[in-house]
A and B are shown apart, each in its own frame.
Chain A
Amino acid sequence: MNLSRTSVMVALSVFAAVISPAPSRAEDTIKIGAPLSLSGKFVSYGAAAKRGVEMAVDIYGGKVGNKKIEILFRDTQSDPQVAVNSFTQLLSEEKVNFLIGPIATPMAMAGLPAWRRTRALWVVPGATTPLLEEEAGKEPMLFHTFPYGYYYHLALARSLREKLGPGKTVAIIYSDDAYGREHLPYAQKYFTQEGFKIVAEELVRAGATDLNPVLAKIRRVKPDLLLGLVQTTDGIQLTKQVYVQRLNIPYLVGTAYPQLKQWQDASGEAQEGWVGVTTYIPGLKAKADPKYPKLFMDSDVWKAEFTKRYNREPEFIDVGAYVSTCMLLIAIENAGAVDDKEKVAEELKKLDVHTMIGRGHFEPSLGGTLNQAFADVVVHQRVKGADAILYPKEFETADKFEQATYAK
């Protein structure tokens, strides 16, 4: 049998058309853009957020109503310029009406101008430094689902004042990057408001090899508390060098880093006594939401489910991205599974759920963001290699702060 090349090509084309899946029609799918740092220096944030988003979509069943959920992940590479491209591509080419992410403030700030061109419904489960709030907090389509940094300082100052009593002195170390500089005024405000006296404020360079000069200056003022407003890498360096220097400061206070396993592993014995803040910590006992128990489970059940999937304990970004995605999906479903940002925004504002990280309900933040959910902050302390929870009252597992090991 003689077959011409053309007939073979035609037959192969027909065969390929038959076996290839039919492309999903745009109206059958709801696309959600997820610009996240999946490589580069913020990769740990982006990877955690991706896990949270994927788990939420999976547990939700992959559909809202009869429409398939398609998450379009884009890697910002932890680079602001690439973040701009990611936002532009998602909003202008893919024409998504919903965005979730990024986590790191610099990436969110980089994407802001591109976002302003379409003003898609934007869920941000991160960006703790209030730059985003200053620039876009009044935007009705921005839904911020992570406490801003000032909530950290409010909770820290309040819990430390409650348990240590009045008249204590604080020395603050802050990094020269956006994180340190943005946190400093809020730390000053809330610690002063609670009656602490700030006796030193020392700047450190982000990524500095040697912190001894700063620590030597702080040693001289003999504060009761040391507050370190730095990010994780500098947090490790600070923790180790404070320990090596035996500063004799009774209470050591960080921001988000003491909850991170990488900080704990890298800090070794120096982590003992450090106080930190978070939205979620293993051991937090939260009950399932009565209306959505399959999505917002008992925190222990959710933790077990997460650990089974990813073979690791969840961290705060995993949980934050999970609950934020679930809330967005519920709102889309409640709006009639439509790809309409206005209707979904209305539904999102109405939501009031009980999640593993507290009440999920949007209301104005202290600093003026119109739609802020999850302002509850947990204060914890590393004691004998585990976490003691000291604030808020309903989650307490310890009733007093321990002094740093060498200060006892």
Chain B
Amino acid sequence: MASLIFQIVVDSLLLGGVYTLMAVGLSLAFGVTRIINFAHGDIVMYGAYAAFFAFVSLNIDPLLSLLFVAILGAIGGYLLFKLTLDRILDAPGINQVLLTFGLGLVLQNVAVILWTGDERSTTPSYAFDSWFLSDDIVVAKGRLIAFGLAVAFVVLLLAWLRWSELGRATRAVSQNRAAASLMGINVRAMYALSFGLSSSFGTATGAIMSFLLPITPFMGFPILVKAFAIIILGGLDSIVGTVIGAFLLATAETTIAYVVPQGIGWAEGVAFFLLVIVLIVRPTGILGTVGRDA
């Protein structure tokens, strides 16, 4: 029994790390711009493809290419914002939803045209390695690395938001757009910056997913759905809430999968039931503020 509980804890933590990676970029973009980026999963997918081609063509390990992929993601996200979303910031919310949803479809179809629907994956040695803590308790090295990177990303992001000039400006825009503008902050520049950063997290996440999940042009949508559920659970505009939401969802899914017979088939349903309960009890999510004043 003790080993089962320990294995549940280990698996929940590792899955929570993966879920944090999936959701943190989406949360950042929404927190600042108040736009839900429905193309976020597809940005993750492009990061995975970039890491894959760096791995097979240039023999660069995904953990090394991650940095370049993140920079490319930041540039791509910034440009995407300037060319599209910047033009409809003052339009009704449904236009923004439709735009990002459409962008996601375009990105997905371009990927199919360029790379076909074949499944791919990077195969660095650590993706096949594991540690045995006992006869029953196994820690997959690839997931542990993902967990470590998720922690590092979140810490870096929170530090940037708290202590850097641009980070504070970003938080100011997030908290009160009008006041930030009156204080001389270029709101649209902050939007573009946060969208670029969000995309950077997205593509970096893709590089990590490249050795954890099969890469296909369609991998983005399930990631988006999961990320969306997590940020609603944690609170749409809260990074810490997102982390809590990710680990809560991972723990619920893992526990159900271990404890209930055929539980892995129930896990997602139960996890989303949990989401519904949280939203009824606390509509802003665990740490969110969006909607509180409404």
Q: Ordered nearest first, which 9 A-B pairs have the shortest CB separation?
A: A268-B123, A213-B257, A266-B121, A43-B117, A262-B118, A236-B214, A203-B265, A203-B262, A244-B140
Residue of B nearest to A266 (CB): B121
When A and B form their complex, what is the total count of cross-chain residue pairs whose Cβ atoms lie within 8 Å? Answer: 112
Pick from A207, A209, A244: contact of B15, CB under 8 Å: A209
B217–chain A nearest beta-carbon distance, Å: 8
Contact across chains for A47 and B264 when beta carbons are under 8 A apart: no
Q: Mark B97-133, 1 if CB is under 8 A from A, else 0.
A: 0000000000001001000111111010001111010
- CA distance in complex: A244, B253 (Å): 20
Instruction: Specify which chain B residues have a CB less than 8 angstroms from the CB of A236 in the assembled complex.
Output: 119, 121, 214
**Which of A23-31, A34-42, A156-164, A289-297 makes up part of the contact surface?**
A34-42
Pair A246/B267 contact, Cβ less than 8 Å: no
Determine the residue in chain B with the shortest Cβ distance to A241: B140
Pairwise interchain contact B128-A270, C-beta atoms closer than 8 A: yes
B213 near A: Cβ within 8 Å? yes
- CB <8 Å contact, B120 and A245: no
Q: Is A265 an interface residue (CB 8 A)?
A: yes
Given A40-B218, A267-B121, 5 new contacts (CB under 8 A): A208-B264, A216-B258, A217-B258, A266-B121, A268-B123
Residue pair B119, A266 in contact (C-beta under 8 Å): yes
A203-B262, A212-B11, A266-B120 are contacts. A240–B128 as well, Cβ < 8 Å? yes
Residue of A nearest to B138 (CB): A245
Does B142 reach chain A (CB closer than 8 Å)? Answer: yes
Contact of B123 among A41, A203, A208, A266 (CB under 8 A): A266
Interface: B174 (CB within 8 A): no
Mark each residue of chain B from 133 to 165: 1 if its CB lies under 8 Å from any CB of chain A, else 0: 000101011100000000000000000000000
Closest to B256 in A: A213
- Contacts A204-B264, A207-B222 given; indicate if A244 touches B214 (C-beta within 8 A): no
Q: Are A244 and B119 in contact (CB under 8 A)?
A: no
Tell me the minimal C-beta distance from B237 to chain A in angstroms.
25
Residue from the set A47, A233, A246 with the largest chain B CB neighbour count within 10 Å: A233
Answer yes or no: A210 CB below 8 A from chain B CBs: yes
B205 at the A interface (CB under 8 A): no
Number of interface residues of B (CB under 8 A): 41
Which positions in A face B, CB cutoff 8 Å?
A: 39-44, 47, 176, 202-205, 207-214, 216-217, 219, 232-233, 236-237, 240-241, 243-246, 262-263, 265-270
Q: Shortest distance in angstroms between A77's beta carbon and chain B's nearest beta carbon?
A: 10
| In the bound complex, CA of A237 to CA of B142 (Å) | 13
Contact residues in A for B254 (Cβ distance below 8 Å):
210, 212-213
Answer yes or no: B263 CB below 8 A from chain A CBs: yes
> Closest CB of chain A to B223's CB: distance in Å?
9
B18 within 8 A of A: yes
B119: which of A209, A246, A263, A268 is its contact (CB, 8 Å)?
Answer: A263
Within 8 A of A (CB), among B172-191: none
Indicate if the CB atoms of B116 and A44 lie closer than 8 Å.
yes
Q: Using CB atoms and an 8 Å cutoff, list the residues of chain B in contact with chain A.
A: 7, 11, 14-15, 18, 109, 112, 116-121, 123, 127-130, 132, 136, 138, 140-142, 212-216, 218, 222, 253-254, 257-258, 262-265, 267-268
* B121 neighbours in A (Cβ, 8 Å): 236, 240, 265-268
The answer to whether B214 touches A233 (Cβ under 8 A) is yes
Q: A216-B136, A244-B128 are in contact. Are A41 and B265 (CB under 8 A)?
A: no
Give every chain A residue within 8 A of B216 (Cβ-Cβ).
Answer: 41, 233
29 A–B pairs (Cβ distance < 8 Å), ordered by A:
A41-B117, A41-B216, A41-B218, A43-B116, A44-B118, A202-B262, A205-B265, A207-B222, A210-B257, A212-B138, A213-B258, A216-B136, A232-B214, A233-B119, A236-B119, A237-B213, A244-B127, A244-B128, A244-B130, A244-B140, A244-B141, A244-B142, A245-B138, A266-B120, A266-B121, A266-B123, A268-B121, A268-B123, A268-B127
Shortest CB-to-CB span from B28 to chain A, Å, is 22
Q: Residue on B with the closest CB to A45?
A: B117
Structural contact, B263 and A213, CB atoms closer than 8 A:
yes
Min CB gap B245→A, angstroms: 16
Interface centre among B109, B117, B254, B265 (most CB of A within 10 A): B117
CB of B264 within 8 A of CB of A244, answer no
Q: Is the CB of B123 within 8 A of A216?
A: no
- Judge whether A216 and B7 touch: CB under 8 Å: yes
Q: Please name the residue on chain B nearest to A257 by beta carbon.
A: B119
**How many Å from the CB of B232 to the closest CB on chain A?**
19
CB–CB B117/A42 < 8 A: yes
In the bound complex, CA of A243 to CA of B127 (Å): 10
A383 shortest CB reach to chain B, Å:
18
By the criterion CB–CB under 8 Å, are B116 and A47 in contact?
yes
**Cβ B117 vs Cβ A268 within 8 A:** no
A240 touches B138 (CB 8 A): no
Q: Which residue of A lies closest to B11 (CB)?
A: A212
User: Does A40 contact B127, Cβ atoms closer than 8 Å?
Assistant: no
Contact between A214 and B264, CB atoms less than 8 A apart: yes
Closest-by-CB residue of A relative to B265 is A203
In the complex, chain B residues whose CB is within 8 Å of the CB of A217: 258
Min CB–CB distance A324 → chain B (angstroms): 22
Which residues of the partner chain B approach A262 to less than 8 Å between Cβ atoms?
118-120
The answer for the CA separation of A241 and B121 in the assembled complex, in Å, is: 13
Q: Report Cα–Cα, A269/B124, bound state, in Å.
A: 10
Return chain A residues, CB-CB under 8 Å to B263.
213
Closest to B260 in A: A213
Distance (whole angstroms) from the CB of B162 to the closest CB of chain A: 31
CA distance A205 to B11 in the complex (A): 17
